[in-house]
Structure 1
Amino acid sequence: MFNQKSRKKSKIQSELISYIWICVIPLIILFAVAVARLYRYYQDYDLLVRNITSANTYNMQFKDNMDETMYRIITGSANWTNPEKKLVDEDPIAYIEDARGHFVLLREKTTEENVRSDLDALIRLMGILEERTNDILVNVEEGGHYDENMEMLDMNIRTLTSLIQDDIQKYIYDEASNMEKLRIQVAKSLLSTVRWLIIFLIVIVLFIYFISRRLSKRITEPITDLVEMTEKFAGGDFTVRYHTDRNDEMSTLAESFNSMVKEIETLIDDIHKEQENAKDAELRLLQEQI
């Protein structure tokens, strides 16, 4: 029976818990939305930083490496025509394909139209550069095209690598501009979140204030009434009864109080009757003795 009573939920307690959840749940939802938005901004920002960092590597190295490699191949210092002696890292076609594949991946990830346009132009230039590079490599393998190859290096390769470098720099600039836009969005989102948090806190404080007054009133008023009834009862008024239209613990307390008063009133009535019966018996006994 004790376990049943301990498991029985207090209605006032349940109501208080429900009010707490009413206050907490909106804050949890707002906090979750804010965290989700900030995490999304973080992912976008991290992607922009990684894109710019990787593109900047090609911006600093691609033109110089490509021009130098092609010059070494034309002049013969790279041993291009000797498979046993040429260096693996001096393969211009592999270098171009690696760079183009990198920018193709960047293009697949981007959603901004201006950045996509930059990468489309960059990828097209990479394709043209590969074609012109192949022309020179064919001439080198045939031999006897040194002057033609040097002219193609100046007019084609170096011009194309300069254009590619310009496009990479334009891509980096546009991504940096997008990063600035994202920073402004994050600042606005953070400010909006703070405003909503302040509004929610004000609403919750007001809600808690009115609810606490309501709950305290619901608890203290019946207790005050019971105190008054108890004082009357202690003064000898056994007709007092406490009535309430509530359906919670106060109703149980009122029933217990009324039942206690009724039982004590019945007990006192029985004592009075016993005393009267005892007096009657004493009178009869005295009369018989006389």
Structure 2
Amino acid sequence: MTKVQKGKLISGLSVGKKLTVMVLVMLIPFSLITVFLLYTLNRFGNSYNLVVSNVAIANQYNLEFREEYDSVLYQMVARSITKDMINEELGLTNPDDMTENVRQSFDKLVTSSTSQNARKSAESVLKLLTTLDNRCNDINNNIIKGGAYDVNMSALDNDIRVITELIQERISEYIYYEAGSMELIRSAMEAERIKLIRAIGMFFIFFFIFVLFLVIYLSSAITHEVDILVGEVKSEQINSRNLELKLLQSQINPHFLYNTLDNIVWLSEGGRKDDVTGIVTSLSRFFRTTLSGGLDYITIKQEISHIESYLQIQRFRYRDILNYEIDIPEEFLGYRIIKMTLQPVVENALYHGIKNKRGGGTIKISMHHQGGDLEIDVEDNGIGMNSEDTANLQRLADGLEKAREDNAGFGMANVGERMRLNYGPEYGLKIESEYGKGTIVKILFPKENSN
């Protein structure tokens, strides 16, 4: 058929049929655009569903695992029941089965995670599960041998519960990072949406006004659907972030808070408004850094601000015996460290060094390079310790002995354990002391994990 014949055929059509032909001709490129849109929505929908599925799996253990596992181990210790008999005698799940369920899930999450940080958190959970199984086996073997109840209970408090807390923190980190991928998906969807709208606009410019109005209507409907999907992504992201449950890495002695509040009341009754303002400001900074937005690591600058707030508060109570000096070169302030590292060490220096020395003393905090690593020194000229007490405290800090919560070395043991779990066995605390002269605690941590 010649062009003339085609022209006569089209000219012979009614206006309605011409419009129909025009619409049919336009449906071809429009169909391609629609197919592209559906493909894009399906691709992002699959990514979104994968993130939601990963978060849901992790959140299941975030809410349940730590509490259930600690409860089962407590029953094992309290009743001297081995893990192989715990189901038969009490109807509880074998702890090995509990960790295996988590391990299987996080093995899959390592592969399916959409975020590199989330994948690292999942891998960290797997490593901690292996450590947890080993500590559980230690308790189980001790039960089989008829070991002392106190030994098992100490292992439960200082090993099992510390590790399950770390596992829960890593799971919460995984949820946080994986949920963050939703924002990336939303941004990518928005970018694709803008590209699509521009393509449609350019397409309509070269064709008839009627088709332009038609496609604008369809584009508006599509935009509305995308906005709904974006709203759902934002809502899911907010809900996922609300699931993040970060616990403090170190316990704060309630007597410290009580004494601080008593000091505030005493200063207020004495009309010392400036002192009240100072101590309240220091207390606020202290707890702000303690919480630190749920972060595991903070900068040296934040950690020093935290410990300086603590010392300022303590000076209101011990102004006659306590002095302190902080000498941290500016080059170190940008490095990062596990939060709440210094406070237990400084607290130990104050309560077991300075307070026990007639006339008081000074706590000095300094920092320097130690080979390829970093070292913070906390030094006091308090009463000091003899060689036997120093060795005992070093064993607690090295995890060779388990400290009770009422033990003077509990805080030091807690810091040492957290540093080993996060940095490795070659890092932690080194304690040097001489009775009558004072004590120095050297805190070693890796530079590559900090900056």
TM-score, length basis structure 1:
0.61
CA distance in 2, matches of 1:76, 1:151: 15
Large movers: runs of 4+ above 3 Å = 10-22, 77-85, 206-209
Q: Does 1:115 align with 2:110?
A: no
Unaligned runs of at least 5 residues, structure 1: 1-9, 210-290
Query: Post-superposition shift, 1:144?
Result: 2.5
CA distance in 1, matches of 2:88, 2:29: 71
Q: What do residues 78-137 of structure 1 show as CA deviations (whole Å, max 9, x unaligned)?
A: 675647833454211100010111011111112432221111111111111111111111
Paired residue for 2:104?
A: 101
CA distance in 1, matches of 2:190, 2:28: 25
Query: Post-superposition shift, 1:22?
Result: 5.0
CA distance in 1, matches of 2:138, 2:181: 38
Sort the Cα spacing of 1:89 and 1:32 in 2 relative to 1 into closer, same or farther, 3 A.
farther
Q: Does 1:11 align with 2:6?
A: yes
Q: Does 1:141 align with 2:152?
A: no
* 1:243-282 matches, cutoff 5 A: none
Structure number with greater Rg is: 1
Paired residue for 2:59?
A: 56
Question: 8 Å contact 2:77–2:143 — kept in the other structure?
Answer: yes
Unaligned runs of at least 5 residues, structure 2: 12-17, 213-451
Task: Using CA pairs under 8 Å that are at least 6 residues apart, name the structure with larger relative contact order, 1 or 2.
Answer: 1
CA distance in 1, matches of 2:194, 2:177: 26
Which structure's residues are more often strand, by fraction? 2
CA-atom RMSD in angstroms: 2.8
CA distance in 2, matches of 1:83, 1:120: 29
CA distance in 1, matches of 2:207, 2:170: 54
CA distance in 2, matches of 1:151, 1:20: 79
Sort the Cα spacing of 1:78 and 1:123 in 2 relative to 1 into closer, same or farther, 3 A.
same
Q: What do residues 225-271 of structure 1 show as CA deviations (whole Å, max 9, x unaligned)?
A: xxxxxxxxxxxxxxxxxxxxxxxxxxxxxxxxxxxxxxxxxxxxxxx
Sort the Cα spacing of 1:47 and 1:84 in 2 relative to 1 into closer, same or farther, 3 A.
closer
User: Aligned to 2:29, what secondary structure does the other structure show?
Assistant: helix
Paired residue for 2:280?
A: none
CA distance in 2, matches of 1:119, 1:189: 31
CA distance in 2, matches of 1:88, 1:21: 69
Q: What do residues 155-182 of structure 1 show as CA deviations (whole Å, max 9, x unaligned)?
A: 1110100111110111111011111121
Q: Does 1:158 align with 2:153?
A: no
Q: Does 1:194 align with 2:172?
A: no
Which structure's residues are more often helix, by fraction? 1
Question: 8 Å contact 1:115–1:175 — kept in the other structure?
Answer: yes
Paired residue for 2:176?
A: 173
In percent, how many aligned pairs have the same letter? 30
TM-score, length basis structure 2:
0.41
CA distance in 1, matches of 2:211, 2:156: 78
Question: 8 Å contact 2:139–2:155 — kept in the other structure?
Answer: yes
Question: 8 Å contact 1:78–1:87 — kept in the other structure?
Answer: no
Sort the Cα spacing of 1:169 and 1:82 in 2 relative to 1 into closer, same or farther, 3 A.
closer
Question: 8 Å contact 2:115–2:177 — kept in the other structure?
Answer: no
User: Aligned to 1:86, what secondary structure does the other structure show?
Assistant: helix
Query: Post-superposition shift, 1:41?
Result: 0.5
Sort the Cα spacing of 1:205 and 1:174 in 2 relative to 1 into closer, same or farther, 3 A.
same
Paired residue for 1:223?
A: none
Paired residue for 2:374?
A: none
Sort the Cα spacing of 1:117 and 1:139 in 2 relative to 1 into closer, same or farther, 3 A.
same
User: Aligned to 1:103, what secondary structure does the other structure show?
Assistant: helix
Query: Post-superposition shift, 1:14?
Result: 8.1
**How many residues are treated as equivalent by the alignment?**
200
CA distance in 2, matches of 1:80, 1:89: 9
Paired residue for 2:76?
A: 73
Sort the Cα spacing of 1:178 and 1:80 in 2 relative to 1 into closer, same or farther, 3 A.
closer
Q: What do residues 175-208 of structure 1 show as CA deviations (whole Å, max 9, x unaligned)?
A: 1111112112212222322232222223222698
Query: Post-superposition shift, 1:61?
Result: 1.0
User: Aligned to 1:85, what secondary structure does the other structure show?
Assistant: helix
User: Aligned to 1:204, what secondary structure does the other structure show?
Assistant: coil
Sort the Cα spacing of 1:106 and 1:152 in 2 relative to 1 into closer, same or farther, 3 A.
same
Query: Post-superposition shift, 1:151?
Result: 1.2
CA distance in 2, matches of 1:27, 1:52: 37
CA distance in 1, matches of 2:85, 2:100: 22
